[in-house]
Structure formats: structure tokens, C-alpha cells
Chain A
Amino acid sequence: GNSVTQMEGPVTLSEEAFLTINCTYTATGYPSLFWYVQYPGEGLQLLLKATKADDKGSNKGFEATYRKETTSFHLEKGSVQVSDSAVYFCAQGGSEKLVFGKGTKLTVNP
């Protein structure tokens, strides 16, 4: 069946460091891919998405590129801030349901 695998956390970085959170998927066909972010005590918010191969989603300095050949959708940010501390979820979407990775907790220290 369809699945999403994220790098396990937690990830701890210093402010202004470069961030990569790896995400790979298995699917039949070509799903849409999403990154969600969850701040403490809140629900998930859509961070970015890509709907076809080679698409790049971007938002708030975060980027991810849909790589069909490696079935990956890695999240990157060039310079993280303390306010980026949160849990990040990668997901793939079909017509009705999403399949989520288990989440990666990021802590950014000043």
C-alpha cells in the first residue's frame, strides 16, 4: 500500500543553520505531496505542496521538490529561526485520503 517515510527526529539546530528533513514515499501512480507543520498545542497547517514531478513547493523560506525518480520530497530551509521549532509532517494525497509520515520534531536554539 501507499506509505510515507520521514527521517526520525528529534532534530536540534542552532539559529541560521541549514535544515533538511528527508521524506520518501511509495505509491501507485503519482500522488500529490504535502508538508504540514504543527506548532505546540495547535493543529496541522499546510506548509507547502507539489502536485506533479519536478514541481517545487515553497512557503516561508521552506522548499521541497517532487522527485519522481527518487520518490522523494525533502524539506529544506536555508536559515532556520527559533520560531521554526515545530513538528513537520510529510504526506501524500489521493482523491480522498492522506497518508502521513510519523512526523519530525525540530528544535531551533538561539
Chain B
Amino acid sequence: DAGITQSPRHKVTETGTPVTLRCHQTENHRYMYWYRQDPGHGLRLIHYSYGVKDTDKGEVSDGYSVSRSKTEDFLLTLESATSSQTSVYFCATKGGSDSNQPQHFGDGTRLSIL
């Protein structure tokens, strides 16, 4: 959807290791988002970006950092992964600040931290 590619699609790693997830979009959308999805919690916003080098925190940002050095890429980094960060991570994009515009989602990255 909206030319969004997440990589990797699946990852298994160990507690304490750094992990970086990548989101790449081809639609030149201004806004990009990282969510995590967990049973019983629905979707929770981690961080989002409103332009190159412009980012802000979401509701569950502790333990995560992001970077956006160019319009098409938005990286999510877990500096030192913990088991509580095992989840499915979704990237989303949005064209502009018009509230009528929907967000478009990638297919997700399933991350397991052992």
C-alpha cells in the first residue's frame, strides 16, 4: 500500500543487542510513523516524523529512537533490545497535514527478542 516496504519482515535476536528496522516509501509522503501492535493493546504510536530530520515522540517511545535523513526512509532503532519489545512493528505514511488524508500501512515486521 502506498509503496511502503518494511525490512526485515521477520527478525529474531537476543536481549541487549541493537536492532534497526527500516521503512521505505516511494510516494513522497511527508509524514511517516512507527507503531507497535500487541494483543490487547491495539496499535500504539512509537515515534513519527513530519519531515526530514523532524521527529516527535508517540505514546510508547521509551527504549526507541528514530531517524529520517531523507524523505523516503524512516528508521526505528532499539538501542538495547528487551523481551518487552517483542512485537509486530508497522510503518505508516501520510501525504500531508489534511486530517481527511488517511495513513497507509506497510505489511509489518515481526520482531522476537529472546
**Chains A and B bind each other:** yes
- Interfacial residues, chain A to chain B (CB-CB below 8 A): 31-32, 34, 36, 41-46, 49, 51, 89, 93-98, 100-103
Query: Using a Cβ cutoff of 8 Å, how many contacts connect chains A and B?
Result: 56
- The answer to whether A94 touches B42 (Cβ under 8 A) is no
CB-based nearest B residue for A42: B107
Query: Interface range on chain B: under 10, 10 to 19, 20 to 34, or 35 or more?
Result: 20 to 34
Given contacts A42-B107, A46-B104, contact A96 B97 (CB under 8 A): yes
Knowing that A95-B98, A97-B48 touch, tell me 7 more A-B residue pairs with CB under 8 angstroms: A34-B102, A43-B4, A45-B105, A49-B102, A89-B42, A93-B100, A96-B31
CB-CB under 8 A from A41, the residues of chain B are 107
CB-CB under 8 A from A45, the residues of chain B are 1, 105
CB-based nearest A residue for B102: A46
